[in-house]
């Protein structure tokens, strides 16, 4: 599709492919800006369930407006294929960053707080993401975080709200998402709950701190068993240099029962804000920012 004009967007490159979509780099021919165009993969173009999820992603993102959430610009159709035009977020995914480097405590907390802020904004609007993982978190060169890919998002019942229109999985017996980052209630397909997003964020924080996934098994079924029945190895056992306060926050997020976790993103933000960063860590990060680029 390189060089193709789709509506008023000229495609200039391919950014990536996932199970839920193919994303292209493009130029907006009406406004001086770069955009990302997301199409359903060819194999799902005729899958009505996938088409419904795709349309729901656009309408869900349209509900949200927050500096840490990718902005949607437009929804249109090209040759019978629906696409979403959205903000082109510069940077790389958190998954890529973790593969390249060990994150110091200051940066780990900064990324964690920004993801928490995005989740807080989504939850306040009645939206649960349901697919929080490093591949869906973009980190810019300036450290700014954007949460992407609301393809599995659903609206949940707000206090005093109308349950009409709430949607669960469209494929009975098959929870959609990535098992390593799923909360137990997601695997069991229990009612929608924003605290499942906080569990997923706990997995990310554990992975950033230790370089390991807390529940990874030799097979997907082993991973599911670990999430449902087993406690992960203590964070400070794998990473003795990490503070006990971080371990306390992460292990609470990874509680099997949602009632035992932080009950909101705001409560989590307060807990992350109380973790002290040693002065030496702050100084190292400042020197890294001041060092000239090679």
Domain boundaries, the chain: 5-87, 92-282
Nearest to residue 220, comparing CAs of 175, 171, 170, 178?
178
pLDDT of the residue at 164: 36
Angle between helices 244-253 and 105-124 (to 10 degrees): 30
Distance CA 159, CA 122 (A): 15
How many beta carbons lie within 10 A of that of residue 73, not counting itself? Answer: 17
β-pair type (9-18, 92-93)? unpaired
Nearest to residue 148, comparing CAs of 197, 170, 115, 121?
115
Q: Are 209 and 250 in contact (CB under 8 A)?
A: yes
- Triad 99, 35, 201: Cα angle to 5°: 40
CATH code: domain 5-87 is: 3.30.200.20
Tokens 């437009």 correspond to what residue?
74
Give me the DSSP letters along 115-126. Answer: HHHHHHHHHHTT
- Which residue among the candidates 42, 141, 142, 162 is catalytic per the annotation? 141
Angle between helices 244-253 and 265-273 (to 10 degrees): 170
- Render pLDDT for 158-175 as a digit per residue (tens, 0 to 9): 655 544 334 444 444 456
Distance CA 46, CA 41 (A): 10
pLDDT of the residue at 280: 65
How deeply is 57 buried, as exposed, middle or buried, from its count of CB atoms within 10 A (0-12, 13-18, 19+)?
buried
Which residues make beta-bridge pairs with 74? 85
Q: Are 264 and 123 in contact (CB under 8 A)?
A: yes
Which stretches of the chain score pLDDT less than 70? 18-20, 45, 158-176, 280-294
Region class of 59: left (phi > 0), else alpha (psi between -120 and 50), else beta: alpha
Region class of 28: left (phi > 0), else alpha (psi between -120 and 50), else beta: beta
- What global pTM score does this model have? 0.85
How many beta carbons lie within 10 A of that of residue 249, not counting itself? Answer: 22
pLDDT of the residue at 151: 79
Name the class of domain 92-282.
mainly alpha
pLDDT of the residue at 140: 92
Q: Is 141 known to be catalytic? A: yes
């Amino acid at each position: 599709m390189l060089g193709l004009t789709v509506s008023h967007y000229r495609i200039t490159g391919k950014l990536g492919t996932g199970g839920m979509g193919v994303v292209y780099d493009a130029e907006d021919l009406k406004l001086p800006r770069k955009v990302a165009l997301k199409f359903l993969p060819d194999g799902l173009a005729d899958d009505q369930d996938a088409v419904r999820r795709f349309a729901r992603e656009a309408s869900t993102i349209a509900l949200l407006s927050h500096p840490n959430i990718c902005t949607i610009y437009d929804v249109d159709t090209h040759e019978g294929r629906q696409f979403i035009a959205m903000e082109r977020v510069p940077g790389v995914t958190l998954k890529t960053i973790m593969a390249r480097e060990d994150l110091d405590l200051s940066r780990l907390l900064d990324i964690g707080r920004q993801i928490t802020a995005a989740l807080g904004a989504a939850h306040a609007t009645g939206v649960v993401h349901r697919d929080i993982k490093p591949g869906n978190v973009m980190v810019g060169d300036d450290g700014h975080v954007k949460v992407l890919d609301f393809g599995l998002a659903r609206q949940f019942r707000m206090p005093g709200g109308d349950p009409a229109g709430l949607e669960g999985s469209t494929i009975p017996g098959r929870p959609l998402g990535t098992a390593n980052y799923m909360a137990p209630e997601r695997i069991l397909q229990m009612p929608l709950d924003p605290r499942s997003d906080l569990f997923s964020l706990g997995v990310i924080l554990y992975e950033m701190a230790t370089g390991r996934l807390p529940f990874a098994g030799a097979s997907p079924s082993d991973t599911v068993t670990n999430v449902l029945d087993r406690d992960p190895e203590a964070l400070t056992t794998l990473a003795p240099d990490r503070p006990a306060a971080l371990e306390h926050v992460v292990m609470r997020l990874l509680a099997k029962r949602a009632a035992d976790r932080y009950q909101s993103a705001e409560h989590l933000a307060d807990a992350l804000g109380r973790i002290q960063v040693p002065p030496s860590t702050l100084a190292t990060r400042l020197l890294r920012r001041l060092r000239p680029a090679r």
